[in-house]
Structure 1
Amino acid sequence: MNGSRKTGLIILTIVAVVGISLAVLFGFQSHQRAQKKTRIVATTYAVVQIADKLDLPLAGVPTTENHIPARYKNVPRVGSPMNPNVEKIASLKPSVVYSVTTLEDQFGKAFSKRHIKPYFLDLTSVAKLKHVVTQMGHQYQRQAQAKRAIRQINAAEKRARQRAKDQPTKVKVLVLMGLPGASYMAGTNHSYIGNLVVLAGGKNVFMSKNQEYIQPNDEAIKKARPDVILRLEHALPKMVTAQFNQAFKTDPMWKTLPAVKNHRVYDLQEPDFDATANMRAAVALQKISRWLYPHTGGNNQ
């Protein structure tokens, strides 16, 4: 009997081990199949950056002059972020299409005609960027990558707070977003660049309850007397930079401002800066922190 019992226990143990092994194997294969079925199309460069940080495969990427990570070198291009090719995207048979909330009104209807429901990610602040990265990390089983990316941003925020901590007064900052055609908008505290200013310990001269950008007039800018001007060269940067330079050279209003008098006008260029938050946020925050408080002592980086 003892021998029979022993043999029975051995057989049960073997069956249990084999069963567990098969369950793990089938579970892994099921997970692999689910990963392969996920066909993500990113229509903005910010989403490409997030996908790259999370080690996610992409079925489509935007047509852009920005550097596309090597892993997406041969991935089909789907048009510019502001004017994606909906027909091309539909042909890729995506399981999900990602854009950003700032472009939702611009082309949401075009997708609905093709029965494609894009997801518009809110990247209007660093906190919302971290939320998106966390959520996508959880959704696609990339929690470790998400946590690593967020730690880098948190470290940059800590350094910026430390740099601004002992300043007697907050630097007044004007955020401008240039637009092709010799026009510009002022970024408020609700814009991404405005949010970086707040995190760096600055004071945005144009505040709003809900608007990201407003149309300021010369009198309002003169009255604000900004100490620093940040010029975002978002769309067609070479053209926008030339426009900014021409306006600051010919319009006497700009020459009256402390920021211009003291040569504290900075151009925000891609890939470190954009209209929406992206995975270069830590670098962008570090740069703005140094521009706002260049003479901070101590061991701050």
Structure 2
Amino acid sequence: MKGSRKIGLVFLAVIAVIGIGLGLVFGFRSTKPRQTKPRIIATTYAVVQIADKLDLPLVGVPTTANKIPTRYKNVAKVGNPMNPNVEKIADLKPTVIYSVTTLKDQFGKAFSKRHIKPYFLNLTSVKDLETTVAQMGKRYQRTTQAKTAISQINQAKRQAKKIALTHHRRPRVLVLMGLPGAAYMIGTNRSYVGNLVATAGGRNVFSSSNQEYIQPNDEAIKKANPDVILRLEHALPKMVTAQFKQAFKTDPMWSTLSAVKHHRVYDLQEPDFDATANMKAATAIKKVSKWLYPQNGGGSMR
């Protein structure tokens, strides 16, 4: 009898332990905070491209002349990348807002007053782009998509390096960034296009330790005498292209340069090129490599 009672007590104890265990499990599940779906706003086209490559949902995209991916065609527009609409952004109740480091100074008091703090992605070089894509892939469980995108960029880099190694001389390159109504700036090795030049095996004739762009200087340009000139059409490309063509036609300084004499002046157009790195980087590297090391030994001015 005592033995039966002992067995019964053990059985009840086991049942109690199991019950407590199940209670803890289900209790934990019921009290575990529910993960909310991210509400992401991309305020620049470069960030939209990254989101598209990573299959990320967006609730806000910039107002731009560039073609927005189909998946975002019905997404709310939040204004110009350099001056996004704070009210629209706040109404969308985002969990995170992405811009780029080069536009950090553009986000001022209007955002602070609404207690909105954008996150600035570093896209100043190809390497920075790869790092950013990898980090976002990890954050949003899109590591497979991130690895695929980075692999495409690395393949283009390897091919460009291979081509450059077959030549004994690195071409001297001048990078210009056109600005609507304000002529142009010179892109140094710190600029994104300057980084593309280095990646493709060229040598930027203007370098800096901390500045992406510097003021033009005719005498310095003439002295540098670049083999290749890359003209970035940043913002309002039609206007900037017309400005470049007019300047190169009317200013006699340009006609003295080797790049102009040998028709090796190229216009860099969106979406393949921009002031910051984007997911067209692989295509951009291939194009710059071809311009620096043309198979036929020459180029064409556009």
TM-score range, shorter chain: 0.7 to 0.9
Matches within 5 A, 1:75-94: 75-94=75-94
SS for the counterpart of 2:159 is helix
Paired AA for residue 193 in structure 1: V
Cα deviation digits, residues 120-161 of structure 1 (max 9, x gap): 111000000000001000111111110010000000000000
Counterpart of 1:176 in structure 2 is 176
CA contact (8 A) 1:156 1:282 kept: yes
Give, in angstroms, the shift of residue 35 of structure 1.
5.3
Distance across 2 between alignment mates of 1:296 and 1:152: 26
Counterpart of 2:267 in structure 1 is 267
- Taking structure 1 as reference, are residues 296 and 132 closer, same or farther at Cα in structure 2, changes over 3 Å only? farther
Distance across 2 between alignment mates of 1:270 and 1:109: 30
Give, in angstroms, the shift of residue 83 of structure 1.
1.1
Distance across 2 between alignment mates of 1:253 and 1:111: 45
Paired AA for residue 107 in structure 1: F
Structure with bigger gyration radius: 2
Distance across 1 between alignment mates of 2:205 and 2:216: 11
Counterpart of 2:239 in structure 1 is 239
Paired AA for residue 246 in structure 1: Q
- Taking structure 1 as reference, are residues 206 and 117 closer, same or farther at Cα in structure 2, changes over 3 Å only? same
TM-score computed with the length of structure 2 as normaliser = 0.87
Counterpart of 1:124 in structure 2 is 124
CA contact (8 A) 1:175 1:230 kept: yes
Give, in angstroms, the shift of residue 296 of structure 1.
8.0
Paired AA for residue 217 in structure 1: N
Gaps of 5+ in 1: 1-7
Give, in angstroms, the shift of residue 216 of structure 1.
2.0
Figure out how many residues of one structure are paired with residues of the other and give that number.
276
TM-score computed with the length of structure 1 as normaliser = 0.87
Counterpart of 1:63 in structure 2 is 63
CA contact (8 A) 1:43 1:78 kept: yes
Distance across 1 between alignment mates of 2:150 and 2:280: 11
Could you say what the CA RMSD is over the residues aligned between the two structures, in angstroms? 2.2
Cα deviation digits, residues 37-85 of structure 1 (max 9, x gap): x110000000000000000000100000111011101100000111100
Distance across 1 between alignment mates of 2:118 and 2:134: 19
Matches within 5 A, 1:163-202: 163-202=163-202
Give, in angstroms, the shift of residue 107 of structure 1.
1.9
Give, in angstroms, the shift of residue 250 of structure 1.
0.3
Give, in angstroms, the shift of residue 93 of structure 1.
0.5
Counterpart of 1:252 in structure 2 is 252
Distance across 2 between alignment mates of 1:157 and 1:274: 18
Counterpart of 1:43 in structure 2 is 43
Counterpart of 1:115 in structure 2 is 115
Distance across 1 between alignment mates of 2:246 and 2:135: 44
Distance across 2 between alignment mates of 1:141 and 1:182: 43
Counterpart of 1:5 in structure 2 is none
Distance across 1 between alignment mates of 2:144 and 2:35: 19
Paired AA for residue 266 in structure 2: Y
SS for the counterpart of 2:239 is helix
SS for the counterpart of 1:196 is helix
Distance across 2 between alignment mates of 1:95 and 1:180: 34
Q: 180-189 vs 41-50, which deviates more?
A: 180-189
Q: Give the share of equivalent positions with the same residue, in percent.
A: 73
Counterpart of 1:289 in structure 2 is 289
Counterpart of 2:222 in structure 1 is 222
Distance across 2 between alignment mates of 1:296 and 1:112: 55
SS for the counterpart of 1:173 is strand
CA contact (8 A) 1:48 1:61 kept: yes
Distance across 1 between alignment mates of 2:225 and 2:267: 18
Distance across 2 between alignment mates of 1:101 and 1:249: 35
Cα deviation digits, residues 244-285 of structure 1 (max 9, x gap): 000000000000000000000000000000000000000000
- Taking structure 1 as reference, are residues 237 and 162 closer, same or farther at Cα in structure 2, changes over 3 Å only? same
Counterpart of 1:4 in structure 2 is none
Paired AA for residue 220 in structure 1: A
Gaps of 5+ in 2: 1-10, 298-302
Give, in angstroms, the shift of residue 110 of structure 1.
2.5
CA contact (8 A) 1:182 1:243 kept: no
Paired AA for residue 254 in structure 1: W
- Taking structure 1 as reference, are residues 244 and 60 closer, same or farther at Cα in structure 2, changes over 3 Å only? same
Counterpart of 1:136 in structure 2 is 136
Matches within 5 A, 1:6-45: 34=35, 36=37, 38-45=38-45
Paired AA for residue 154 in structure 1: N
